[in-house]
Structure 1
Amino acid sequence: MQILHTTKLDSQVYQDALAIRKAVFVQEQHVSLADEIDQNEAQACHFVGYLAQHPIATARLLPINPTTYHIQRVAIIRSQRGNHFGRQLFQALENYARRQKHFHLTLNAQDQAIGFYQRLGFHVTQRPGFMDAGIPHHEMQKQLV
């Protein structure tokens, strides 16, 4: 999988990220488009994984402070789930974060995905679970070395 990233909202990479997010979150999980596309689009770095030049995976990094990124909008198209593309995407996110000197990662995991994130080294924080777009979530963190 080839992984590209951008901060430019007029780029094809960003458009590909949006297409994946709409397919996964809006169509599959019934998240409203107004909730999916938010005020943080321009502040985030958007990542897209391509397989044979087709966009199949996405995530974005939102800077929280000088050493922390919040990972959001993690999605793999349905036909490619279970093929370890999520692990490859996270390796790219972590490599980028290290290069930017951001050594702390946070994310809000859908409860059904907590095991996936735990296998990547994230742990659930003490913060109580919460609902986001009608889906149960828990905050998770990882410290990079």
Structure 2
Amino acid sequence: MNVAMGEKQDSSLYNDALTVRKTVFVEEQHVPEEEEIDEFEQEATHFVLYDGDNPVGAGRFRMLDNHMGKIERICILPDYRNRGAGRLIMESIEQFAKENGISKIKLNAQTHAEPFYQKLGYETVSEVFMDAGIPHVAMVKQL
């Protein structure tokens, strides 16, 4: 498996990211599509995990200020979960952040995924809150 990245203008990669996101968030988790696709699509760098030519995972990264970034929309198709796919995409995003001078990353994790992010070095910094009808926690990591 390999990870590719690009901007929204890279229409093929962006469409592949949306395909995975819609499968996981809209179809599987019933997030309304108008909440899933938001105003930050244009400014984010999108990442897609491929198995051959097939998109199997996705995520995006946004710069928040000079030294802080935010990881969003991490998702893996069901058949690829618990096989290291999530770690691959997270490592690629973190490497990109480091290369761009980011020293701290935050993300909002669904509570069921909190242990996954803790294993990657993220620390929970909030109480549980609801986003798109799903319980989340805010997490941060120093790079």
Same fold (TM over 0.5): yes
Q: Which runs of 4+ in 1 moved over 2 A?
A: none
**CA offsets 1:27-54 (integer angstroms, 9 cap, x no match):** 0000000000000000100000101111
The alignment yields a C-alpha RMSD, in angstroms, of 0.9
1:140 is aligned to 139
**CA offsets 1:81-111 (integer angstroms, 9 cap, x no match):** 1110111111111110110001111000000
Aligned length: 143
Distance in 2 separating the partners of 1:9 and 1:69:
21
2:102 is aligned to 102
1:20 is aligned to 20
Identity in percent: 41
Stretches of structure 1 that go unaligned for 5 or more consecutive residues are: none
Residues 66 and 102 of structure 1 are in contact (CA less than 8 Å); yes or no, is this contact kept in structure 2?
A: yes
User: Secondary structure, in 3 states, of the residue corresponding to 1:15?
Assistant: helix
- Report 1:1-145 matches (<5 A): 1-125=1-125, 127-144=126-143
Distance in 2 separating the partners of 1:47 and 1:7:
9
